[in-house]
């Protein structure tokens, strides 16, 4: 690591707690927004023994009326970037047919999951736009 990168890293440590607090606040806002939305589930901390920084806020959808693609298309129409959860490595073309361990959980999450805007500088106005998209999906 170069001295410049080390210096940047040290400076970022000074604002780390603030960034985590902002990301956790985003998660709180998403929790409130999605609490009553049937079929959309926001990831949560595994138990009270964990303290997540919620660097990403991710949802899964398991509802016949609102699919992952419906949500993704509505966000795209409104110029808001959402992304699929990561494609499992064992499904990547160069790893097809290789041995892997699991019970298809990663495939299920990829098929049903989206990463929502989660920046630590997400403004109230930007969050309101996100909320409007989710509210339009419920109608």
Topology (CATH level 3) of domain 17-137: 3.90.1150
Average pLDDT for residues 86-114, to the nearest whole number? 89
Predicted TM-score of the model (pTM): 0.87
Which pLDDT tens digit goes with each residue over 32-63?
Answer: 999 988 889 999 998 989 999 999 999 998 87
Average pLDDT for residues 81-89, to the nearest whole number? 93
What are the sequence ranges of the domains in the chain? 17-137
Which pLDDT tens digit goes with each residue over 20-37?
Answer: 999 999 999 999 999 988
For residue 64, name the pLDDT band (cuts at 50, 70, 90). low
Instruction: Characterise 102 by phi-psi region: left (phi > 0), alpha (psi -120 to 50), beta (else).
Output: left
**Dihedral over Cα of 119, 79, 39, 110: its sign:** negative
Tokens of 16: 């780390």
């Amino acid at each position: 690591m170069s001295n410049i990168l080390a210096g940047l890293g040290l400076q970022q440590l000074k604002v780390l707690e603030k960034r985590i607090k902002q990301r956790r606040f985003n998660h709180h806002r998403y929790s409130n927004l999605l609490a009553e939305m049937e079929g959309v589930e926001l990831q949560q901390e595994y138990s009270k023994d964990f303290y997540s920084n919620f660097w990403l806020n991710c949802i899964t959808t398991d509802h016949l009326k609102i699919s992952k693609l419906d949500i993704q298309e509505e966000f795209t129409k409104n110029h808001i970037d959402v992304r699929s959860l990561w494609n499992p490595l064992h499904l990547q073309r160069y790893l097809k047919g290789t041995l892997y361990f699991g019970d298809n959980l990663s495939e299920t999450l990829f098929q049903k999951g989206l990463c929502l805007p989660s920046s630590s500088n997400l403004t109230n106005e930007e969050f309101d736009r996100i909320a409007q998209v989710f509210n339009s999906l419920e109608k």
